[in-house]
Amino acid sequence: MSDHKVMLRNRHLVVAAEIAADAFGDVAQVYIVYYANQKALLLAPMDDEIFPTVHKPALQMLKKRNLQGDKSVSLEEILIDNDLDDTDRPLVFMHQPGMSFLHITL
């Protein structure tokens, strides 16, 4: 991956290994929800018990992208449903170490 820790690439969210490991651990799926009014994409690991009670997320496969451990999630449905720009680019994100949660601005 480039110097960017979170990117949109080929309609997939690509998260650098160190961020993915801290935010999601080694789960195979993540909860994902998009709030259009805030342009906020929220993700949490599938073993988070609180996230699905606070939000109405979908479960998406979290795929290992390369040997370095970068992870990817398809955003095709969210991009199409919300008529969002699907241009490959770095994304602004918030993540606090030790928190199993990722906030991305789309």
Whole-model pTM: value is 0.93
42: nearest Cα among 79, 93, 6, 98: 93
19: nearest Cα among 47, 50, 45, 51: 45
Q: What is the pLDDT along the chain (106 residues), one digit of tens a residue?
A: 456 899 999 999 999 999 999 999 999 999 999 999 999 999 999 999 999 999 999 999 999 999 999 999 999 999 999 999 999 999 999 999 888 999 999 9
Report the half-sphere exposure of 23 (CA within 13 A, side-chain side): 28
